[in-house]
Structure 1
Amino acid sequence: MQLPIQSQSTIYAEPWEAAAGPGDLRAIAVAADRAGFDYIASCDHVGVPRRLAPAMSTVWYDPVATLAHLAAVTEHVRLLSHVAVVGLRHPLATAKQYATVDHLSGGRLILGVGAGHVREEFEALGHDFKQRGAVLDEAIDALRAALGPEEFPEHHGKFYDFEGLGQLPRPAQQRVPVWVGGSSPAAVRRAALKGDGWLPQGDPRDRLPEQIATLRRLRLDAGIEEPIVVGAITEPLYVGRPGWEVGRRTITGAPEELAESLRAYRAMGVHQIQVRFRCRSRDELVDQTAAFGAEVAPHLDQ
C-alpha cells in the first residue's frame, strides 16, 4: 500500500488528504499493519518546480523520516521507499539513513530506488540530470556494499569511491532487499540485472505480461538464477457497493468478486500487488483497509 497524505499528486490524492496530518497517517499505517498488509510505502521528492506543482503538488514527505516515524507505531508491516531517488544523495548518506531505519524497525526495510524524472531537482542539488540512469546503476552497487554486513564498506567506481569509513548501526537484515522502480525499457533492464524486485509504475494489465516476459528473459540471458519479486499497481478498489461515484476504472463489489479480479495478476506472474482504495475520509480508508485484509485477502490464494 502506497500511503496517502505523504504525497498528494493530483493523479491519485483524495480531497480529504489536503487537511490530513500525522495522526491520520499513523492511523492508516496501524490499520495496514493490523490487516496483514505486506508493506506501506512512502515517496521521494526533494522539491517540485513551479511548472509541475499544479499537477504534482508540493506535498511530498521525506521518506526516511516518514518510514522511521511509522516504524515506531507498527510491528509487522514492511517499510518501502517507493521510490527513493538515490542519485540525489551520496550512497554513504543514503545507507546511513536507511540502515538506521532497518535497525530501528527490526529489519523491515525494503529499499525501492528509481532514476527520478524532475530535472530541476537534480540541477538544484548539483547533479547531472542526463547522467541519472548511469548514476543509479552504480549507486545500486554502492548501496549493496554500504548496506551489507561490513562495518567499513568499500566501493570504487566512476561516480563514487569510498573505503575506510565505518558505519554503525548495521541493518538488522543480512541483505536489505533492493527493488527497482520504473516501467521504461531502461528501468526494466535495471530491475532485471540489479534488483531483488521490480516495481512497475502503473502498467495496465494488458502490458504487464510482455514486461514480465522481458524481465525474465533479461535475467536468463545474464545467467541470474535468484528469484525476483514482481510487483504491480492495481486499479483503484472499493470493497462493497459504493453509494457514490468512485470512477469508471475502480473495481468494486463483494470480496469474492474483487479477489477473482485480482487473481489475474498472479496468473501473469505477479508476486505482490500494491492496492489503493477510493475513499472520502480517513475513517473510510481505515475501514476499507480492514475489510480488504479480513475479507478479500483470504481469497487471493484460492
Structure 2
Amino acid sequence: MPVPSEERLSYGIQLPVQSQSTLFAEPWEAAAGPDDLVEIARAADRAGFAYVASCDHVAIPRRLAGAMSTVWYDPVATLAFLAGVTERVRLLSHVAIVGLRHPLVTAKQYATLDHLSGGRLVLGVGAGHVREEFEAVGADFERRGAVLDETIDALRAALGSDEFPVHHGKTYDFEGLGQRPRPAQERVPVWVGGSSPAAVRRAALRGDGWLPQGDPRDRLPGQIARLRELRAGAGIEEPLTVGAITEPLYVGEPGWEVGRRTLSGPPEALAESLREYGAMGVHQIQVRFRSRSREELTDQIAAFGADVAPHLN
C-alpha cells in the first residue's frame, strides 16, 4: 500500500475527538465518542485522504490539564478500531511517544495493527515533552532524545521481516525473542515528528518522513533545505516524505466566525493557497477543518475531497 509520494501533494487529517487540547478542539467534541470517530474516519476514507492520525499521551499532569485536557485516546486501540470500519486510508500515529515503552512492546502493538489492517500503518514517532509521564512509567526524560534515536533503530529491527529480531544498544538489548504476527508491510514507514534542530536531524538521518510541529509557511523552506542537506551529507538516497500542518480550513463561505488564521473561500482559491506547500517541497499536508458539529465536519471533509483535492496537483 503506497505512502504519499514525492510526485503529488497528498492530504491527511488529525482526527478530532481522540485528542482534545484546547489549542484545537471544537466545543462539540466534548460530547462526542466512538460513533463520531467512525463516521469521520469513513468520510476521510471516501474522500481520498491519505491517512487518519491519532495522538499519544499516557497521562496528563494536573498542571497541564487545563490547556491539554486529559482526553487522549490510545493510538493503537483507536487506529485498530478504525481499521475495522475503513477500507484504504492509512493509519498514522502522530506521534507515538515510543520512549515511554520498551521497543518490543511497541513493536508487538504496531506489528499487530499493521497485520490486522492489511499493511496500512504509518508509524509516527516523537520524543515527548511531559516530564511527569516519563517519571510515572520509569522512563528517562532527560535522555529522551538519545533514547528515541536508539528506539527507532530497535523498531526498524523489531518491525522488519525477521521473526527473531536482533538489537544491541546502550539502552535496549534483545536477541532470540520471536514475535508474530509480523507486519503486513515489508517495511513499515517511520515518520519522525518535531521541529527542533535535533528532531529535524533525527528525521533526516533516521526517518522515512518528517512531521513538523506546526511550522509556519515562512519557516518551512529553511527546514526542508536542512533536511536535504543532512540526508545528502549522510549519503541517504531514499526519498523522504516531507509533511506540513496547514492553517485551519473551511471550504466555502462559513457564515460564522472561524478565526482570522483560518483559510476559507471557494475550492479553487483554497487549492491555490495550498499548492504553495507543494512548491516548497512538501509532499503531504495535514489539514484540520473548523466545524460546529460532526455533520459539518464530515461535510467539510467531503467537500475538500471532491472540490479542493482535484486542484492540488
* TM-score interval, normalised by the smaller of the two chains: over 0.9
Q: Note the alpha carbon deviations across 1:124-162, whole angstroms, 9 max, x for none.
A: 101110000000000000000000000111100000000
Please list, as runs of the form range in 1=range in 2, the aligned pairs for 1:227-246 lying within 5 A after superposition.
Answer: 227-246=239-258
The separation in 1 between residues aligned to 2:136 and 2:113, in whole angstroms, is 27
The separation in 2 between residues aligned to 1:299 and 1:212, in whole angstroms, is 24
Q: 2:112 matched to 1:100?
A: yes
Task: Please tell me the residue identity of whatever aligns with 1:278.
Answer: R
Q: Secondary structure at the match of 2:52?
A: strand
Give the aligned partner of residue 77 of structure 1: 89
The separation in 1 between residues aligned to 2:97 and 2:258, in whole angstroms, is 32
Task: Please tell me the residue identity of whatever aligns with 1:230.
Answer: V
Q: Secondary structure at the match of 1:67?
A: helix
Please list, as runs of the form range in 1=range in 2, the aligned pairs for 1:42-53 lying within 5 A after superposition.
Answer: 42-53=54-65
Give the aligned partner of residue 254 of structure 1: 266
Q: 2:25 matched to 1:13?
A: yes
The separation in 1 between residues aligned to 2:129 and 2:31, in whole angstroms, is 27
Q: 2:175 matched to 1:175?
A: no
Give the aligned partner of residue 285 of structure 1: 297
The separation in 2 between residues aligned to 1:285 and 1:193, in whole angstroms, is 37
Please list, as runs of the form range in 1=range in 2, the aligned pairs for 1:1-302 lying within 5 A after superposition.
Answer: 1-301=13-313
Task: Please tell me the residue identity of whatever aligns with 1:71.
Answer: A
Task: Please tell me the residue identity of whatever aligns with 2:154.
Answer: A
Q: Note the alpha carbon deviations across 1:18-61, whole angstroms, 9 max, x for none.
A: 00010001100000000010000000000000000000000000
Q: Note the alpha carbon deviations across 1:63-95, whole angstroms, 9 max, x for none.
A: 000000000000000000000000000000000
Q: Secondary structure at the match of 1:100?
A: helix
Task: Please tell me the residue identity of whatever aligns with 1:291.
Answer: A
Percent identity between the two aligned chains: 83
The separation in 2 between residues aligned to 1:260 and 1:126, in whole angstroms, is 48
The separation in 2 between residues aligned to 1:155 and 1:266, in whole angstroms, is 37
The separation in 2 between residues aligned to 1:128 and 1:286, in whole angstroms, is 41
Cα offset, 1:276, TM superposition: 0.3
The separation in 2 between residues aligned to 1:295 and 1:239, in whole angstroms, is 9
The separation in 2 between residues aligned to 1:106 and 1:126, in whole angstroms, is 34
RMSD: 0.3
Gaps of 5+ in 2: 1-12
Task: Please tell me the residue identity of whatever aligns with 2:221.
Answer: P
Q: Secondary structure at the match of 1:103?
A: helix
The separation in 2 between residues aligned to 1:57 and 1:34, in whole angstroms, is 30
Q: Note the alpha carbon deviations across 1:93-148, whole angstroms, 9 max, x for none.
A: 00000000000000000000000000000001011100000000000000000000
The separation in 2 between residues aligned to 1:141 and 1:72, in whole angstroms, is 30
Detail structure 1 runs of 4+ shifted over 3 Å in the superposition.
none
The separation in 2 between residues aligned to 1:86 and 1:118, in whole angstroms, is 13
Q: Secondary structure at the match of 2:142?
A: helix
Q: Secondary structure at the match of 2:122?
A: strand
Q: Secondary structure at the match of 1:231?
A: strand
The separation in 1 between residues aligned to 2:235 and 2:66, in whole angstroms, is 45
The separation in 1 between residues aligned to 2:281 and 2:81, in whole angstroms, is 33
The separation in 1 between residues aligned to 2:17 and 2:217, in whole angstroms, is 26
The separation in 2 between residues aligned to 1:99 and 1:83, in whole angstroms, is 16
Gaps of 5+ in 1: none
Cα offset, 1:273, TM superposition: 0.2
The separation in 2 between residues aligned to 1:21 and 1:174, in whole angstroms, is 34
Task: Please tell me the residue identity of whatever aligns with 1:276.
Answer: R
Count of aligned residue pairs for this structure pair:
301
